[in-house]
């Protein structure tokens, strides 16, 4: 039997809602054999997830989703199979976490100008000392009745160019890939069909990424349509990128992204995990 892979997920170490151990249990219940925990700009949830995995009967891949600014656009680069003790990676992530704290304060001020009080304190409380992000603000705004649901919050306040949006310089593409490689991992462009790019621009990203040594494309994503998956499969073949797949699960509160419900990898692609056995990644204990 083929193993079921889900190589993109979040815990409450960043903007997911489950504790890492709860996420691992949920993944096992969903029939996943190999799960990567890929929190935004942190590896703080990994130790707990790794400890929980053998008992749950799944293999846990240490991962991260790094925020990148490429040509003034936000990109997400997933690192898979990283050594979480690598100091270069940790140092880079600390910088991004500091940028997130500064952005959050600024977002609070922007939302205050829109007549919304206490958003920074509310988001901070929801993040509970862990990595803060726009999702925490979104949850605060929904909980307080300012907006009906998460999607509308991004459309009205937190999306690019909206009144609560604060632009930041994140890592460069080179930095993100070099931190991941320095930590012994593989770099993957997350949910490639989600960016507001033309196909020409997306191809430019892939070209840059490959020149730097990036190896993977998340062909199958929980946030892709079927057509997106097919288009990204074509790009992966054209550019010779290894194929990854992941739900981008954030917890039961975000039911539009569900664990372990992914389409199979299309034919003619080399999976990113093709040599993991030899490399000792995702060994089940
Ligand atoms: P951040 O990394 O803090 O800028 O926040 C980005 C995160 O916000 C993503 O990883 C998603 O979890 C969430 N997000 C972005 N856009 C939307 C949306 N339209 N609906 C719901 N969640 C979103
Ligand atoms: Mn997120
Ligand atoms: Mn992402
Ligand atoms: Mn994600």
Q: Which atom of ligand 1 is nearest to the CA of 135?
A: 8
Question: To test ligand 1's pocket by mutation, which of 9, 15, 132 has the most ligand atoms within 8 angstroms of CB?
Answer: 15
Q: Summarize pLDDT for 234-282 with one digit per residue, the tens.
A: 999 999 999 999 999 999 988 888 998 899 999 999 999 999 999 888 8
d(CA 13, CA 28): 19
Cβ contacts of 10 within 8 Å, gap of 6 or more: 16, 23, 37, 38, 39, 40, 65, 248, 249, 250, 251
| pLDDT score at 254 | 87
Q: Which atom of ligand 1 is nearest to the CA of 250?
A: 12
How many angstroms is it from 112 CA to the middle of ligand 3? 27
Q: Summarize pLDDT for 83-133 with one digit per residue, the tens.
A: 999 999 999 999 999 999 999 999 999 999 999 999 999 999 999 999 999
Q: Is the confidence at residue 285, as pLDDT, over 90?
A: no
Q: For tokens 């293999």, what's the residue?
A: 59
Q: Summarize pLDDT for 192-248 with one digit per residue, the tens.
A: 999 999 999 999 999 999 999 999 999 999 999 999 999 999 999 999 999 999 999
Neighbour count for residue 117 (Cβ, 10 Å): 11
Whether ligand 1 lies within 6 angstroms of the CB of 65 is answered as: no
Pick the residue with more confidence: 257 or 4?
Answer: 4
Whether ligand 1 lies within 6 angstroms of the CB of 134 is answered as: yes
Q: Summarize pLDDT for 122-175 with one digit per residue, the tens.
A: 999 999 999 999 999 999 999 999 999 998 999 999 999 999 999 999 999 999
The SS3 call for residue 229 is helix
């Amino acid at each position: 039997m083929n193993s079921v892979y889900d190589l993109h997920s979040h815990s409450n170490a960043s903007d997911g809602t489950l504790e890492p151990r709860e996420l691992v249990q949920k993944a096992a219940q969903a029939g996943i054999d190999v799960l990567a925990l890929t929190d935004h700009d942190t590896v703080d949830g990994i130790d707990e997830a790794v400890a929980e995995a053998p008992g749950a009967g799944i293999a846990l891949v240490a991962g991260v989703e790094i925020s990148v600014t490429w040509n003034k656009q936000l990109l997400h680069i997933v690192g898979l199979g990283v050594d979480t003790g690598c100091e270069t990676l940790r140092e880079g992530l600390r910088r991004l976490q500091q940028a997130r704290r500064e952005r959050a304060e600024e977002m609070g001020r922007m939302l205050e100008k829109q007549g919304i009080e206490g958003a920074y304190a509310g988001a901070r409380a929801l993040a509970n000392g862990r990595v803060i992000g726009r999702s925490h603000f979104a949850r605060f705004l929904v909980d307080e009745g300012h907006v009906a649901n998460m999607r509308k919050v991004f459309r009205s306040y937190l999306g690019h160019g909206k009144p609560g949006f604060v632009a930041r310089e994140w890592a460069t593409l080179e930095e993100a890939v070099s931190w991941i490689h320095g930590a012994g991992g593989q770099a993957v462009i997350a949910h490639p069909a989600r960016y507001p790019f033309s196909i020409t621009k997306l191809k430019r990203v892939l070209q840059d990424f490959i020149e730097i040594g990036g190896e993977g494309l998340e062909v199958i994503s929980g946030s892709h349509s079927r057509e997106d998956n097919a288009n990204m499969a074509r790009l992966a073949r054209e550019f010779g990128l290894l194929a990854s797949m992941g739900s981008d699960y954030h917890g039961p509160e975000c039911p539009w992204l569900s664990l372990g419900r992914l389409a199979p990898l299309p034919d003619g692609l080399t999976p990113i995990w093709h040599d993991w056995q030899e490399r000792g990644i995702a060994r089940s204990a």
